[in-house]
């Protein structure tokens, strides 16, 4: 599979290394100029006919424009950028109407997506149990631009939908320290006991692997997909 990397930060580098291990080729790397912020090819050439899929990890301010630019070139997009939820519904509708391809996720880690499934089931079991308060804590590296993380917001949304709680009943604490890849914890606390559900990433490798598995999945497909579809 021939891949275009959109965004060449720490995740871009991790995906590049993982792609080589899985036998894929990164044919083009696009990043933003440090001063101008303009789309800039830093490696290879931007030739759509030589690209099978684009993997996008940039910033909330640039993600949607990047997705549309890839669609204009006829490329399916795997997007791991978070913080653009306000535009998500419109972008997905545009994807369906235009016959494009998008798989966007707040977290590509297989382990985290298993936690999403556990979180939904736990929320159902805790539904109506007002003796338990619920909270979420997420910890990431100091370079992360959005807070709360997209993953924490996904966990919160699941609890709202499956557990019947309002969002303001589920506070999210965001911690930014060091080079932490990502730790997410859901806590149900009562006077009697505490129930904790945690996912701790040890490196970016799990995220890179998940993004590549998603790219392999969407190749040749049209429409809007999720990690649930892939799994």
Residue 173, CA distances (Å) to 25, 98, 109, 138 in order: 39, 38, 21, 6
Query: 2, 10, 13, 144: which is the annotated catalytic residue?
Result: 144
- What is d(CA 80, CA 154) in angstroms, rounded to the nearest whole number? 13
Does residue 140 have an active-site annotation? Answer: yes
Catalytically annotated residue among 24, 100, 140, 199: 140
- Give the catalytic positions in this structure: 140, 144
């Amino acid at each position: 599979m021939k891949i275009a990397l959109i965004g060449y930060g720490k995740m871009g580098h991790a995906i590049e290394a993982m792609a080589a291990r899985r036998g894929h080729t990164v044919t083009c790397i696009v990043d933003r100029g440090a001063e101008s912020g303009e789309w800039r090819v830093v490696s290879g050439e931007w030739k759509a006919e030589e690209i099978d899929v684009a993997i996008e990890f940039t910033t909330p301010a640039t993600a949607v424009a990047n997705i549309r630019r890839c669609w204009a070139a006829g490329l399916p997009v795997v997007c791991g950028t978070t913080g653009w939820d306000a535009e998500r519904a419109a972008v997905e509708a545009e994807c369906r109407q235009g016959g494009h391809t998008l798989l966007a996720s707040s977290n590509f880690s297989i382990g985290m997506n298993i936690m999403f499934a556990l979180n939904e089931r736990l929320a159902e079991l805790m539904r109506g149990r007002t003796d338990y308060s619920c909270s979420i804590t997420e910890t990431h590296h100091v370079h992360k631009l959005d807070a709360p993380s997209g993953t924490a917001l996904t966990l919160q949304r699941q609890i709202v939908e499956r557990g019947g709680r309002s969002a303001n009943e589920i506070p999210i604490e965001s911690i930014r320290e060091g080079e932490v890849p990502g730790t997410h914890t859901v806590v149900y606390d009562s006077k009697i006991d505490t129930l904790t559900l945690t996912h701790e990433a040890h490196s970016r490798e799990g995220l890179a692997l998940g993004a590549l598995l998603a790219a392999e999945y969407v190749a040749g497909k049209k429409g809007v997909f999720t990690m649930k579809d892939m799994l």
